[in-house]
Each structure stands twice: as structure tokens, then as C-alpha cells.
Structure 1
């Protein structure tokens, strides 16, 4: 990641499809030598950035920038504003005047500084007085910069970046505001006796029912789960509500990866109050596909998705309604869902370990659950912010 030449760096707003293609392709060129980097599917990368395809643009706007030096593209960044994030209480991390940047790729520190300057200038013109990032593009996509855990590829839907970026971003005046943790746990042997006792007690409680999702009612189940999510996470740092069209978009994206025995809904007295989503690690397949399903990767992927075997399983989302949070019932439901899915994942999918993340560093409930099942932090992501003075300060 060093510059090939030392000419001036120029910034170019992405204006057309050719620019957008360059924006997407750059990440492949800069990361190809990293054995832990998993190439994203290019079709998904384009969809994320295209108004009309990604419903985030119904309440957000973005400007993409390319950095060039001596005719070569040497970096990229996005600057964006989410109207729903602006409407959140400031003490929860977002709020009025807070814009975002993300999707940073750069060959060197000078390029990084120039790109951040461009993103900050754009946010300032839009009336923002604080920059928070990286977010790619929403808090629900790939939040944070990887600062620990570079040695192994991430599991599905998690980001990976050069370890050099941390110093470059901090040199540009950014300070850490929040860490997101990813936990890993061996799931073959099962969990400690305390967890098994809690699960056994829950099974004797006639008020509790843990059920699998019904894929035949997929849209209804997706709305139900995301409704619980919007309630469960509403007090969390960085929370931005998911809209109906975003829920439908996420559901469509995940539908091929949804397996009924890997997603559980917990009911108490007949009311759905908690859920847990587990995904087989698609990255084990994507890592050598170079971002393309052509010519034959699509067939290989479809074959795998019929009944995937996956060494790792990822828990991207779980939640318990606010009215039950911090109660004994909440931890009982969490451990029951985790244990039921663990059994099926090991028996039917060949899973050896589970990844749980992202978890806010101050989320006491989830950190306690992770400690109880003896999970260990294996990746840490950091979100930064910086005040934007009116004169560039």
C-alpha cells in the first residue's frame, strides 16, 4: 500500500457508471494481496451504492469520491447523510448535525487525508458539524474500522481492511467513540453446565415456546423479526430504525441464506418477544470467487446453498423486546435459542464454531451472554468521530 509516484492527488466526485465501476473495482486491486480479505460480490456492491436498488436512499443521500494521482486511481471514500439518523437523540451517537463517511480505500496516508478532507467538505456544505465513520453506508451494513483480528478472514457480512488505516484516520484528527466486538466460540462440545441448567429450567416453563421460522411465510416472519429488532435495539448506541422497504430489501437479500432451523423466535404466553438469526458462513465460498458468479461460480454457490456445510456460523442479529430486557426471562430465552441452534448447526451443517457480532462494547446483556458460553473476542471494530468547524477546523 505505497504510492507508485508522488504527483499531486486530485479528487473526483463519482458522476457516472464508469466512475462507479472504478469505485467498486479499486477495493479488489488494493486488497488482492491480503489472504484474509474476502472479495464481495460485485453485484451486491453496486446495489448497495445505487439509488432505486438500495432503499436506504429513500431517507439518505451520498456522494462518492475517487482520488487520483498521475492518472491512477489511488483511493475512494463515501460521504453520506441519513435523515433518520439525524432524527435520533444525540446522546445515542447519531442525532442532528452528524454526517457519515465510509467505504474508505487508500494507497497511503496522504491519499487518506485528502479523501477525508473531501468527505468533510461535502458534509460541511450540507450543514453537518460532526463526521462519524466509517459506516458502509448505513449502521446496518458494515459499521466500524477493523482494529484487531487481521489474521483470519471475517465471517459473512463483516468488514475487513488494512491495519494501516487506523493510524492514517487517527492522524487526520479522528477520535474513537465506540467499539463493536465480535466473539467466537467453539460449539462442538456444547456450553458450560450453568447454561445447560438454565436451558433445562426454561424447557419446564409452560409459558415459553421456542420455534423455528416458517419459510413459507417468509415475508410475515421477516416483518415480525424486524419489528422485534426495532423495539429491542431502539435504546442502543447508533440505532437508526429500519424502514418497511429496508426490511423487505434485507429479507430478499437473505432469503437464499435463511434456513428454518438456524433462525428461532421465542414466544412467552403466545407473544413473540425474542429472535436469533444465524447464517452459514458464505465467505468460505466467496473467498476465491473474485467477486463474480460467472462463469460457473453461481452453480457452485447454488449447490452449496441447497444444504450448506460450514465450519463457522455467524449470529448477526438477536434481540429481546425492551419490556423484558435485563430480566431473568431474557437470558433464559437467549440461552435456549443459542443452544437449540447450536445443536442443529453442529449436527446438520458440520459447524465447529460460532461468531457473535457485532456487539457494542457497553452492551452488558450480550457481553454477559458471551461470557457465560465462554466466547472470546476475536475481532474489534472501531467507530470514530470528529467535529467539523465551519472553516475546516
Structure 2
């Protein structure tokens, strides 16, 4: 095991999945510049978290990697002495998984943690969970991929399921049920919607952050986005965000709900092999302009908590969904992924299933007492 401590070892850490997934047609190589930014001091996550990264070698060849992290915002909120691991990639060998997880656990134990939980790469507001169902399709943008053996090896290392995160798929041109039509009709007198204002991009992103942090605050494992984290995310997504594919709903002129849909660029970057330079940026922009992806993902959605248990909550949710359907179809998008959804978020699951959504991928979070 080698601890990541310089640019050379960080590059090895980032590039390790290429050797593990070279014969997996479903794997999409991540963009190297994005992975480097994710692990660099520029990531505002590190302002409230301590992290360590390791690479496992066999016969001088890198065969696995893992991170361990302690999130002070999480501990301040939940006070349960839980530390996290993530970025897990490894060969199909139980000994490699044991060495990686033991290393992360020992570091967490040394930091005073009583429980290890993962995978989180690096936080709950980023890529998390290990794929345990739905291996026959590529991952959507900002979602993970794994081979089936990850599940069994993690469980052999003493981990048990904590919760599942669900990815739903739905036809973009779904039919409105009679009940949905009635709810939307009633909502139009009480709920106003608008698109994102590119000229006031940061102001609208602040509104979305505020609603998100309120809407998700009682959900399992919640950690709020900091201002810097959300600005960092918005900067990453700005190139991809189409103002017509963002809906903000208002009640009496006050923001109350939102939905953000982004094109699934994994469709168009698979042959980039992780590289945007020297001509990848031009290819990406050209492909987004000439042949828009046929799939998209909704990574961010929220309804203010004060409305969630009321009829107005359903009105707000259905209204933003309805608001985005026409521009989504007009873009040529055929399928939309809604992810991730906590398995115990019955209200949201009912809304998605009522418009024809079905679970097509499952990601699992595991825990183990130290």
C-alpha cells in the first residue's frame, strides 16, 4: 500500500480504473481534468473534511485504490462518530479489498471514529453508493459504475447494507394521468414557474441551493451544501445547463421548488478516453450543438419542507416536472434518469412511479462498526 502524496501518485490513483474496466463496454472513462479538480485543493469539500488516499500494488502494478474521509459538517449535524470511505476501485480479489478497506478503517479508527460507511466519493452530495443492480447500461453523468464482484467482496469484509439509492428511468414524452392533469390544473392558479435566468445565473443558483438544503434537511445522511461547494458545482455545470431545462416554482412570488435537468454527456464523451485536450472541448461543444444526447439526468430537485406533506407539495413537484417536459422532448431527449432517490423516500418514489418511472439501477451504501 502506498499513500498518495504527490502529483505522480495522484495521477496513478486517478488513472487506475482504466486498467480495471478496459474490457467493460458499459464503463465510461471520466474526464481526467474533472477528476484532478475533484481531488485538488480547489474542491471546497476539503475546507470541512480531512481525507487520505491509498493505492494497493501487486508485483509493482497498481490493482486497487481507496479514500478515507472525515466530514466535520456531517459530525456536527449527526454526532454519531461515523467516518467514510470511497473512491474504491479494485481487481477481483478479496485480499485486495480486505487490505484497502482495512487501511481505510484503521485510519478512521485512529481519528476516533466508531463506524465506517461508504462508498462516498467524496461526500453524499457527490458520487456515492456502489452499483449492485443495473450493470447492463452505462452510468449517467455524475453517477458511478462497478462490476458485480464489488458487492460480494465488500460484504465479505464485514459490511452490511445501510440504505439503497435508486436511479429511475422514464420516457421523456410520458403520458399525463388524469390525476396528474387535475393536480397541474389546480396548481396553475397557485403556482407560477419560470426558467433559469442566465443573466442572473448566480442569484438563481443561490435560490436552488437554499431550496435544496431545506428540502433535503431531514433526509438520511444529509449534509448541506456550503456556499462555496454549490458555487463550485454550478461552475462545473454551467456549460451544460440549458436555462429552458431548469424550472423554479414560486408560491405567492416566493421560490418554493425547483428541478434541474442536464444532458447526459456520458453519451458523447465515451471515445474521449478521459481527455478534453487538445480537441476534446471542440468535439464536446460540437456534439452538444449538432447531436444533442438522447438521454438526460435530473440530479437536483427539491420542494420546501413546509409544503412537502401538503397537497401544495404534490402540486409543486408535478408542476416543475410538467414545466420541463416540452423543452426536454423538443431537445430530442428520449429517456431521463431521476437519481438518486433514497429507497425510503416514498413520497418522491410515488410521484415518479405515477408518471411511469421505474427503477433501473440500484446503488448501495454499506456500514461497519469499528
TM-score (norm 1): 0.92
Aligned partners of 2:139 and 2:90: how far apart in 1?
20
Would the alpha carbon gap of residues 116 and 243 (structure 1) be closer, same or farther in structure 2, given more than 3 Å must change?
same
1:149 to 131, 134, 153: 134
TM-aligned CA deviation for residue 70 of structure 1: 1.1
Aligned partners of 2:291 and 2:110: how far apart in 1?
48
- Answer yes or no: is 1:65 the counterpart of 2:54: yes
Aligned partners of 1:155 and 1:336: how far apart in 2?
25
Structure 2 match to 1:369: 351
Does the Cα contact within 8 Å between 1:144 and 1:383 map onto a contact in 2?
Answer: yes
Aligned partners of 2:283 and 2:347: how far apart in 1?
39
1:180 to 136, 141, 165: 165
Aligned partners of 1:335 and 1:138: how far apart in 2?
29
TM-aligned CA deviation for residue 308 of structure 1: 5.9
Q: Aligned to 1:222, what secondary structure does the other structure show?
A: helix
1:120 to 76, 94, 105: 105
Does the Cα contact within 8 Å between 1:256 and 1:305 map onto a contact in 2?
Answer: no
1:86 to 69, 75, 88: 75
* Cα displacement string for residues 87-136 of structure 1 (whole angstroms, at most 9, x for unaligned residues): 123xxxxx331100011111121101100000001111111110000000
Aligned partners of 1:30 and 1:166: how far apart in 2?
16
Aligned partners of 1:127 and 1:189: how far apart in 2?
50
**Residue range with higher mean Cα deviation, 245-254 or 183-192:** 183-192
Q: Aligned to 1:236, what secondary structure does the other structure show?
A: coil
Q: Aligned to 1:314, what secondary structure does the other structure show?
A: strand
Would the alpha carbon gap of residues 57 and 186 (structure 1) be closer, same or farther in structure 2, given more than 3 Å must change?
same
Q: Aligned to 1:190, what secondary structure does the other structure show?
A: coil
**Cα RMSD for the two superposed structures:** 1.2
Number of equivalenced pairs: 369
Aligned partners of 1:266 and 1:299: how far apart in 2?
35
2:279 to 271, 296, 305: 296
Does the Cα contact within 8 Å between 2:85 and 2:120 map onto a contact in 1?
Answer: yes
1:106 to 64, 73, 90: 90
TM-aligned CA deviation for residue 312 of structure 1: 1.2
Gaps spanning 5+ residues in structure 1: where? Answer: 1-10, 90-94, 389-393
TM-score (norm 2): 0.97
Gaps spanning 5+ residues in structure 2: where? Answer: none
TM-aligned CA deviation for residue 201 of structure 1: 2.4
Does the Cα contact within 8 Å between 1:135 and 1:143 map onto a contact in 2?
Answer: yes
Structure 2 match to 1:92: none
TM-aligned CA deviation for residue 61 of structure 1: 1.2
Aligned partners of 1:282 and 1:341: how far apart in 2?
19
Does the Cα contact within 8 Å between 1:228 and 1:320 map onto a contact in 2?
Answer: yes
Aligned partners of 2:178 and 2:332: how far apart in 1?
23
Structure 2 match to 1:49: 39
1:232 to 215, 221, 230: 215
Q: Aligned to 2:239, what secondary structure does the other structure show?
A: helix
Does the Cα contact within 8 Å between 2:161 and 2:366 map onto a contact in 1?
Answer: yes
TM-aligned CA deviation for residue 189 of structure 1: 4.5
